[in-house]
Amino acid sequence: MVGKKSKYWKILYLYLPLALVFLTVLVPFFWALSISFKTIPEFQSQEFNFLPQSFNFQNYIHVWNKSGFSEYFKNSLIVSLISVLFILILCVCNAYALSRYIFKGKKYTNMILLSTQMMPVILYLVPLFGVFKAINLIDHPASLIIFNIVLQAPFNTILMTNFMNGISKELDEAAMIDGANRMTIMTKILLPILRPGLVAVGSFAFIGCWNEFLVAFTLIQTQSKFTIPVGLKSMIGEYSVNYPALAAGSIIALLPPVILFTLIQKNLVSGLGAGAVKG
């Protein structure tokens, strides 16, 4: 009897909330996927059908070839990958300094880094526009790359520091005895051990860069230079919206993050676990 009660409580408090979260996440996704295969008359029909009558790929072809999504996709990929590369380099160097060196004000560093995350982007959007206008980077992808690096580096530095703190300093000392310098220690010894941390930090940074909308919408003015979030916004007209095409564009925008997390799932989970426990 006790075993049955325990089973019922487990279903009530564990599986039922998980099922609700599962439905909350997946139902909108499958609804968008279904709409992306529908024609406009089918979408506007008074008869409700969750599934499309046929799998029509014309919306995807139209979005990719005629709405400029191939350019938006390429722009987002270039901006995100370059940003992530520099973010990882900065975060590894910052984390090494915070983990291995003792200096004045070190104990306040995390507080300062975290305080940068409390301010919404819209708060410094106007001064940011003024700065980039002064250095002639308005309507240039470099402005987005610089912004992504500045925005993503503080939080990811804290995350990478936790991974770095989990690596014994005795490894550094042993390498120094063998004649290795700081750069050799970092590149040859610490980076291979930090692989799960690099995957976790790189993933979070990539998603943040890929989804960035407000600054890209403000700084980029030429349509051929739009990133995917701005490209999706441009598909919403003043008086009409092609919802099947918009849904197809949204599914295309989802593909890189989904593929990324599918490929690195094991490293991501182990990396986040290591960072949380050892920090």
pLDDT in tens, 205-238: 999 999 999 999 999 989 889 999 999 998 887 6
Residue 172 has pLDDT above 90, yes or no: no
- pLDDT top residue among 267 and 64: 64
Q: Domains in the chain, start-ordered, CATH in brackets? A: 67-278 (1.10.3720.10)
Separation between Cα atoms, residue 164 and residue 274, nearest integer Å: 10
Q: Which pLDDT belongs to residue 206?
A: 93
- pLDDT top residue among 86 and 22: 86
- For 131-162, how does the pLDDT look when each residue is reduced to its tens digit (9 = 90+)? 999 999 999 999 999 999 999 999 889 888 88
Estimate the crossing angle of helix 69-100 against helix 195-211, to 10 degrees.
140
Please state, rounded to an integer, the average pLDDT across all residues of the chain: 84
Q: Which two tokens stand for residue 104?
A: 């004045």
pTM, rounded to two decimals: 0.84
234, 204, 205: which is closest to 217 by C-alpha?
A: 234
Mean pLDDT of 103-109: 82
Residue 267 has pLDDT above 70, yes or no: no
Q: Which two tokens stand for residue 109?
A: 């560093």
Tell me the three state secondary structure of residue 236.
strand
Cα 134 → chain centroid = 29
Q: Which pLDDT belongs to residue 210?
A: 94
Q: How confident is the model at residue 279 (pLDDT cuts 50, 70, 90)?
A: very low
What is the gyration radius of the CA atoms in the chain, in angstroms?
23
